[in-house]
Amino acid sequence: MAETLLMLGVSPIAIADRDVWETWVVEPSLPPEVADVGTLLEPNLELQQQHAIWDGSPL
């Protein structure tokens, strides 16, 4: 999904396994402000919550 966002010109707020991305994905490159929220298998939920833009209220 991050790759699709970047191709549309939208920078993701955070992704899991940034190091893996930078090893395996050459283009598009991630902007430096994209946060790493942990591994794909065990993402850090606290970090995800810190970077969330949704406040949890019903839509």
Please report the pLDDT score of residue 46 as a whole number: 76
Per-residue pLDDT, 59: 54
Q: Mean pLDDT throughout 17-22?
A: 89
End-to-end alpha carbon distance in the chain: 22
What burial letters (b/e) apply to 41-53, b meaning 16+ CB within 10 Å? Answer: eebeeeeeeeeee
Res. 57 pLDDT band, cuts 50 70 90: low
pLDDT per position as a tens digit, 23-55: 998 788 899 999 888 888 887 777 767 766 656
